[in-house]
Structure 1
C-alpha cells in the first residue's frame, strides 16, 4: 500500500547545460538500444563475452558498425567492455534483452516501442498546436483496424505484459471470484496470469476484432480455451456482460479520449455484482503533478495519437470512483515508478 513516506521523490530541477543535454540527446541512447535489438546483439552475447570481430561475424554486420554500436551501448551501461576488449552484456541486458532468457522483453521494445510508439511522438508538436489532420490521428480504434499494425502491437504488448500480469496476480485477492471481465485486455496476458493464479476463474476479454484473433492463439497455448472467451469490438461501444465478480482495465484509460474515462468507470460499476472488484492498472501521476517521470512521459506519448486523452492521477481516479459509488480498497505500485494499481469495490 502506498503511503506519503513511500511516494517516489520528485525530480530535481536541472541546473547545468550537461543535464539539459542528457535530456535533449536521450533519444540517441534509446535508438542505440533498438539498433542492438534489431541485430540481436544481446542474444549473441548471452553465452559469454565476444570480440568485436566475433560479433560482426555472428550478426553479419561490418566490423566498423559493430564497434560504433557496442561502444555506444557500453557508454550507457547496456554492455561492458573488458581490458581484453571483449564485449559482454550488462546484468540487465543479460536478464531482459536476450532471447535465451525467461524474462526477455526485447521484442516488446523492438517492435512496439521502436516501430510504433517512437514514430507517434513525431506527431506531438502538431498535436500540441492542434495542427494534426484528422486522418493522421491514429487512435486505437483506427490503428487496430490495420491487421499488420494490430499484429505487431498485440504480440509485442503480450510479451511486455506477462511480467506485470504475474505481479498483478500476486497483489490482488480474487479467491472468491468466479468471473472476470478484462476490458481492452488485448491478447490476454493479464487474464492468463490471473487464471493461472485462481483456477476457478472464468474470464471474458473485450478487444478489437484483429486483436482477438491474435489473442486466441495465446489463450490456446496457455490451455485456457475452456475458461476464456472473447467479445470482439470497441470496449467503449460494445455491451458488457453483467454480474461480474471482477473487472480489469489495464492500460485502457490512458489510450481513450478523456470523455470516455468516466464513462468506463460507470460501465464497470453497472457490470459488477455487489461486492465485485474493479482493478485499474495504468500510467498515473501523483496529484502534485511532479512525477513519476515515466508515467508522465507515457501519458504524453499516448496524447500523441489520442489528442483528447486525460492525464490520470491517483487522486482524480479515486475521487471519480467514489462519486460513482465505489469504495477504494487498494492503491499500490505495479511497475515501480511507471504504473499504479487502483482497486475499487462495489458495495454489497
Structure 2
C-alpha cells in the first residue's frame, strides 16, 4: 500500500539534515573527546578547538537538545554512553564513520547540480584534509564491518580455500574474519599503497601478520596478485560502472588458480531498482561520490561475471543493504 504523505511528514523529512549536520560537525571538530576529560564552558572548549566562542556555544546547546551532551549552569559534559561512541579515548568509538558521513553530507548538498550535469559532486578537500579523510573512510568501513563480519562469512560456509586475495581490502576487517574462519589458510590484501600501513596495524593487533601479504596497487590499472583460490570483493563493485566491473572480474579470473572462486559482497537490487530501500539511497550516494558507480541487480552481476569467464553464479545471501553475497567459479 502506498504511503499517504502529509505536509508535516514532508517537512519533518526535509529537516533531518539539521541533526545530522550538528552531529557530524561535532565529530569533525572532535567536540566529545575534551569534554570526556572534564566538563567545560563553551568559551573553554572554543579555546581548545581554536573555534569561535559564540558559534561553539550554539553548537553545544544544539548537541544538548539532541541529548548528546548534558549542561549544568554553563558547563557541558558528555554522558558515558555517548563518550563510548564519539570520544577518541574509547576503543569502540564510531568517529571515523561519522566523520566520513560528514563528507557524504557535503556531497549530497550538491545533488541538484549532480542530477542536472550527470557529474559527481565537486566539494574539494574535507575539513580535516586528504590523509584524515582517507583514514576516516577506511576506519569507517572497519567500524561498520567488524561487528557483522563473522556472521556474514558464516553465510558462505563450508569454506574451503588455501589462499584468499582480498581486493580493495581496506583495513583488513574481512581478511581477518576469513583467516579466522579457515585457520590454515593464507591471505593477500591488495589496496592502494596509502592504505597498506592501516591494514598492517590491524593485522598486527589481530596477531595475523605472519599469515598475510600486503600488496599496494590500484585494481583499476594494476594486475592482481596471482595464486589465490578465493577472491573476495567486499563492497567495492558499487564504486564502479558495469564496464569497470567486467574489467575487474576479468583480471580476477586471470589471477585465480584453476577452479578458483570469486565472492562478491555488496548491495544487490531487485529488478525494479527500488528495493531494498537502503540500496536505492546508496545508489544516490554513488552518484554524488563517484564518476560511474551504482548499485546493481543479481542478473547484471551474473551477466558480467559470465562475460569475464565465471560460471555457477549463485546469489548466496540477500541482505537489506551491503552484505548480500554472490559466489561464482572460474571456468
> For the superposition of Structure 1 and Structure 2, which TM-score range results when normalised by the shorter chain?
0.7 to 0.9
Change (3 A) 1:167 1:105: farther
- 2-side partners of 1:338 and 1:198: how far apart? 26
What secondary structure sits across from 2:160 in the alignment?
coil
CA contact (8 A) 1:180 1:245 kept: yes
Size of the aligned set, in residue pairs, is: 311
- 1-side partners of 2:131 and 2:83: how far apart? 33
Corresponding residue of 1:30: 20
TM-score, normalising length from structure 1? 0.73
CA contact (8 A) 1:286 1:315 kept: no
**Shift in Å, 1:90:** 11
- 2-side partners of 1:315 and 1:106: how far apart? 36
Matched, 1:263 2:247: yes
**Shift in Å, 1:325:** 3.1
TM-score, normalising length from structure 2? 0.77
CA contact (8 A) 1:244 1:273 kept: yes
- 2-side partners of 1:320 and 1:342: how far apart? 15
1:300-339 equivalences in 2 (<5 Å): 300-322=284-306, 324-333=309-318, 337-339=320-322
- 1-side partners of 2:311 and 2:34: how far apart? 47
Structure 2: stretches of 5+ with no match in the other structure: 47-55, 72-76
Change (3 A) 1:42 1:13: farther
**Shift in Å, 1:219:** 2.1
- 2-side partners of 1:89 and 1:284: how far apart? 38
- 1-side partners of 2:108 and 2:316: how far apart? 30
CA contact (8 A) 1:14 1:20 kept: no
Change (3 A) 1:175 1:281: closer
CA contact (8 A) 2:172 2:199 kept: yes
CA contact (8 A) 1:43 1:99 kept: no
Q: Which has the higher contact order (CA 8 A, sep 6+)?
A: 1
What secondary structure sits across from 2:148 in the alignment?
helix
**Shift in Å, 1:249:** 1.0
Select the residue among 96, 115, 123 that pairs with 1:107: 96
- 2-side partners of 1:20 and 1:307: how far apart? 30
* CA deviation vs aligned residue, 1:3-57 (integer Å, no higher than 9, x gap): xxxxxxx9x4452112222332221121233245455559978xxxxxxx96858
What secondary structure sits across from 1:289 in the alignment?
coil
Change (3 A) 1:283 1:56: farther
**Shift in Å, 1:306:** 1.6
- 1-side partners of 2:222 and 2:259: how far apart? 24
- 2-side partners of 1:66 and 1:146: how far apart? 27
Matched, 1:285 2:269: yes
- 1-side partners of 2:25 and 2:275: how far apart? 29
Select the residue among 323, 328, 331 that pairs with 1:345: 328
- 2-side partners of 1:123 and 1:253: how far apart? 23
CA contact (8 A) 2:235 2:322 kept: no
**Shift in Å, 1:100:** 7.3
CA contact (8 A) 1:137 1:306 kept: no
Change (3 A) 1:173 1:227: same
Corresponding residue of 2:64: 70
Corresponding residue of 1:296: 280
1:53-202 equivalences in 2 (<5 Å): 60=45, 65-71=59-65, 73-74=66-67, 103-110=92-99, 112-114=100-102, 116-130=103-117, 136=122, 146-173=130-157, 175-202=159-186
Matched, 1:214 2:198: yes
What secondary structure sits across from 2:146 in the alignment?
helix
CA contact (8 A) 1:285 1:314 kept: yes
* CA deviation vs aligned residue, 1:89-142 (integer Å, no higher than 9, x gap): 798x688556677754233213x111x2222223433332227599x498xxxx
- 1-side partners of 2:291 and 2:111: how far apart? 9
Corresponding residue of 1:84: none
